[in-house]
């Protein structure tokens, strides 16, 4: 029955007969369409709106054809739709090459191919496209949720593949799913072996930007940009200390250092002086270094926010790390994959030149024509006899006291600032987030002829570790100041600590109001939501550590556990070849044993055929039980009814809707008993 067009007065949706009443072809098609929809679902945030609409319409159309047993459309129609989809893809991305257009076309091809399911080979193409589409998800995300969803997709595709190899009868979906699961489990040892021993050339996945947020640290800062990051509760990094953990107020993770100010925006410095006249790092440390392990989520910057101050260069596979004069650690490309490495830090340190160098002038310069009231205030402070000869340290303490006692407030929503934002902050609003305090402090120190700069990064961590790791979130993004003091070097000054000491000493950050569900859970049980989040983040951390960050170093650690003293690539290759060869021999032995095994259904069938031949009933191997039942009735009449009824039961058990997995031994015994009451009948 072909479906009419929707504008046909006689058109109506096909009647749903119920799942159990569907013919097998329709049932299997609907199951496959459900698997395809599940596989495409996580891609919705990456696909153009037209692709989502087209895929939905095509899958719904194919489902209606399966229910109503309608005719499939002509291939010419599909070619036209495919050409239109290709044109829309080019219109959306201005190219047909690359990740986004490639995934879009793969989804379109998958949907359109369902309208060509005329033969088994068409189904195999759909299975292939489905497995390919599963892989494309990992180009966007490697999260545990995506992996779990794609595991379900693989199981569903394998189940559909099993159903396509069961041409006889109507096996249940549960039976096919169990067989698909067992088949996948048989391949699991090989998959695990390849995961553990196959040589790692780089990170497991290098293309996806898992966790890469639209917000995050940047190499530039305006008033309010750090406050935007504070609304992002996603994880920025995890850190585990080897030994006693330092207090929260000591956790400063140094990111971009911003020293160039144009009146509205802070950027990284472009030095005005040759290298020999610029201030150098000159790091001076005291005490025992603090060793830690860090798992860094993807950033938008080619920088590592290491704990201050890191004296040695961290070693990261596949990346070249270099230090700068302002204690930043830079790499040769943005961090687009999760990184795991070890490093050391000295919490007690000094850095920078002890004596004045010409290059420090870059850290005093201010743009002309901005913030006149702040400049006038600086001149007034210098005329104060108590501060006329004050050094950098005394001036910084005076400003900190002014912030602490001057009625300033710490807020996530200070509102928009105008052209002279520093003037507004000091004299009008007196409220802001950390970047307002840091920028205003640095501008005033420069106006007092003290070299100063803004440092951005993260400060503090969640108070309790999860799975041994302290979590630093994007909401911990912070900005603080550094000023230069003769004989000491660069000195950290955090104005936020003066107005909101709990933000630094206890990592108590300002957070936006929770949503409806989170607010309801928090009202019922304040600790419940936190417990759920900690449990989930602990599971995610293990997934990250043992799967996504499994590297060459960990491969060699596995070889050491197996007894190799100094493992190398040759040892890894030998072990892989030996293991695969052993598994191949075991598989060949099992295949030989399975080939010589007698199928219990065949054993039962042979026994029944021998009995029927002895009774004079023609019985060939290709005859169905229903055919044999008809011949028994023709041969033996009413006397053979019991035997024929057992053959009808066997027909239902083997090929019916509720087909059995194994033969019924009771039926075999009953058949033998019924046959003993019969004798070979003469030919009629």
By residue range, what is the domain housing residue 557?
550-593
Tell me what percent of the residues of the chain surpass a pLDDT of 70.
85
| Tokens 């003066």 found at | 498
Least confident of 114-123, 452-461, 643-652, 662-671: 114-123
* Alpha helices (H) in 347-468, listed in sequence order: 372-383, 392-405, 421-423, 434-447
Task: Using the CB atoms, write b or e for 556-590: b if 16+ within 10 Å.
Answer: beebeeeeeeebeeeebeebbeebeeeeeeeeeee
* CA 291/CA 242 separation, integer angstroms: 6
CA distance readout (Å), 310 to 146, 281, 296: 36, 12, 16
Residues 588 and 670 in one domain: no
Q: Name the pLDDT band for 203 (thresholds 50, 70, 90).
A: very low
Are 267 and 318 a contacting pair, CB within 8 Å? no
pLDDT of residue 437: 93
pLDDT of residue 485: 95
What is the pLDDT averaged over residues 197-217? 54
pLDDT of residue 658: 64
pLDDT in tens, 265-283: 999 999 999 988 999 888 9
Residues 267 and 383 in one domain: yes
Residues 541 and 554 in one domain: no
Give the mean pLDDT of the chain. Answer: 82
Residues 637 and 580 in one domain: no
User: Residue 341: is its pLDDT beyond 50?
Assistant: yes
pLDDT in tens, 99-147: 888 889 988 888 888 888 776 677 788 888 888 888 888 888 777 888 8
Q: Which uninterrupted H or E stretch holds 409? A: strand 409-410
Are 454 and 441 a contacting pair, CB within 8 Å? no
Q: Name the pLDDT band for 13 (thresholds 50, 70, 90).
A: low
Give me the number of domains the chain comprises.
Answer: 5
Residues 640 and 533 in one domain: no
Top pLDDT among 328 and 192 is at: 328
> Is 213 among the domain residues?
no
Q: Name the pLDDT band for 327 (thresholds 50, 70, 90).
A: very high
Q: Name the pLDDT band for 515 (thresholds 50, 70, 90).
A: low
Are 223 and 417 a contacting pair, CB within 8 Å? yes
> Is 369 among the domain residues?
yes
The residues near 535 (Cβ < 8 Å, ≥ 6 apart) are none
User: Residue 8: is its pLDDT beyond 50?
Assistant: no
pLDDT of residue 681: 56
Residues 63 and 187 in one domain: yes
Q: Which of 471, 505, 539 is the last residue of a domain?
A: 505
> Is 6 among the domain residues?
no
| Concatenated DSSP letters of 228-296 | HHTT--SEEEEEEESSSPPPGGG-EEEEEEE-EE-SSEEE----SS-GGGSPP---EE-SPPEEEEEEE
What is the pLDDT averaged over residues 366-386? 92
Least confident of 77-86, 194-203, 263-272, 388-397: 194-203
Residues 251 and 144 in one domain: no
Q: Name the pLDDT band for 287 (thresholds 50, 70, 90).
A: confident
User: Residue 545: is its pLDDT beyond 60?
Assistant: yes
Residues 567 and 639 in one domain: no
**Long-range contacts of the stretch 65-68 (C-beta < 8 A, 24+):** 65/3, 65/115, 66/25, 66/26, 66/29, 66/30, 66/33, 67/14, 67/15, 67/16, 67/17, 67/22, 67/26, 67/30, 68/1, 68/3, 68/14, 68/15
| Number of Cβ atoms within 10 Å of the Cβ of 479 | 30
Bridge-partner residues for 344, per DSSP? 291
Residues 31 and 78 in one domain: yes
Residues 660 and 583 in one domain: no
* CA 94/CA 133 separation, integer angstroms: 22
Residues 47 and 191 in one domain: yes
> Is 257 among the domain residues?
yes
pLDDT of residue 363: 95
Least confident of 37-41, 65-69, 224-228: 224-228
pLDDT of residue 7: 44
pLDDT of residue 551: 66
User: Residue 668: is its pLDDT beyond 50?
Assistant: yes
Residues 65 and 192 in one domain: yes
């Amino acid at each position: 029955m072909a479906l009419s067009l929707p504008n046909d007065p006689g058109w109506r949706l096909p009647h749903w007969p119920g799942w159990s009443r569907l013919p097998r072809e329709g049932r299997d098609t609907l199951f496959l369409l459900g698997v395809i929809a599940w596989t495409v679902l996580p891609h919705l945030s990456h696909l153009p709106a037209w692709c989502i609409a087209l895929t939905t319409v095509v899958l719904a159309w194919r489902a209606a054809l399966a229910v109503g047993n309608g005719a499939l459309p002509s291939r010419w129609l599909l070619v036209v739709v495919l050409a239109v989809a290709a044109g829309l893809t080019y219109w959306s991305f201005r190219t047909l090459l690359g990740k986004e257009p490639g995934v879009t076309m793969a989804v379109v091809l998958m949907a359109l191919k369902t309208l060509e399911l005329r033969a088994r080979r068409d189904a195999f193409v759909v299975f292939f496209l489905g497995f390919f589409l599963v892989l494309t998800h990992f180009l966007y995300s490697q999260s545990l949720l995506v992996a779990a969803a794609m595991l379900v997709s693989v199981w569903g595709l394998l189940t559909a593949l099993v159903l396509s190899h069961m041409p006889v009868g109507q096996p249940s979906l549960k039976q096919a799913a169990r067989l698909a699961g067992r088949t996948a489990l048989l391949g699991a040892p090989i998959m695990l072996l390849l995961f553990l021993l196959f040589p790692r050339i780089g990170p497991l996945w290098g293309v996806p930007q898992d966790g890469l947020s639209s917000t995050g640290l940047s190499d530039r800062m305006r008033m309010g940009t750090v406050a935007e990051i504070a609304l992002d509760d996603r994880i920025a990094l995890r850190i585990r200390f080897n030994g006693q953990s330092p207090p929260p107020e000591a956790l400063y993770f140094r990111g971009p250092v911003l020293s160039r100010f144009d009146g509205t925006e802070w950027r990284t410095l472009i030095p005005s002086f040759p290298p020999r006249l610029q201030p150098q790092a000159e790091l001076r440390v005291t005490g025992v270094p603090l060793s830690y392990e860090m798992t860094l989520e993807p950033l938008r910057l080619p920088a590592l926010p290491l704990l201050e101050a890191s004296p040695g260069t961290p070693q990261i596979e596949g990346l070249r790390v270099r230090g700068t004069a302002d204690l930043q650690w830079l790499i040769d490309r943005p961090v687009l994959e999760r990184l795991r490495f070890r490093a050391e830090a000295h919490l007690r340190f000094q850095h920078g030149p002890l004596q004045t160098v010409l290059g420090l002038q870059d850290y005093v310069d201010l743009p002309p024509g901005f913030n006149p009231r702040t400049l006038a205030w600086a001149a007034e402070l210098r005329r104060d006899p108590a501060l006329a000869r004050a050094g950098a340290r005394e001036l910084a303490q005076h400003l900190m006291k002014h912030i602490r006692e001057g009625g300033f407030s710490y807020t996530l929503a200070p509102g928009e600032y105008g052209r002279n934002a520093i003037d507004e902050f000091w004299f009008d609003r007196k409220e802001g987030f950390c970047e307002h305090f840091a920028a205003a402090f640095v501008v005033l120190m420069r106006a007092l002829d003290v070299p100063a700069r803004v440092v951005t990064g993260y400060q503090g961590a969640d108070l309790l570790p999860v799975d041994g790791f302290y979590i630093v979130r994007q909401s911990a993004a912070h900005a603080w100041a550094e000023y230069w003091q003769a004989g000491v070097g660069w000195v950290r000054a955090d104005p936020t600590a003066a107005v909101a000491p709990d933000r630094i000493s206890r990592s108590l950050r300002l957070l936006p109001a929770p949503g409806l569900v989170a607010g309801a859970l928090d009202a019922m049980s304040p600790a419940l939501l936190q417990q759920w989040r900690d449990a989930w983040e602990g599971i995610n951390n293990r997934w990250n550590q043992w799967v996504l960050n499994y590297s060459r170093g960990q491969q060699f650690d596995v070889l050491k556990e197996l007894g190799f003293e100094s493992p190398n690539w040759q040892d890894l290759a030998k072990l892989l070849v030996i293991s695969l060869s052993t598994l191949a021999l075991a598989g060949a032995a099992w295949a030989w044993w399975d080939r010589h095994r007698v199928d219990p259904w065949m054993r039962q069938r042979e026994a029944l055929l021998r009995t029927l031949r002895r009774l004079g009933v023609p019985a060939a191997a290709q005859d169905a039980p229903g055919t044999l039942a008809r011949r028994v009735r023709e041969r033996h009449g009413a006397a053979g009814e019991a035997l024929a009824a057992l053959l009808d039961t066997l027909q239902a058990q083997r090929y019916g809707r509720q087909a059995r997995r194994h033969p019924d031994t009771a039926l075999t015994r009953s058949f033998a008993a019924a046959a003993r009451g019969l004798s070979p009948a003469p030919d009629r």
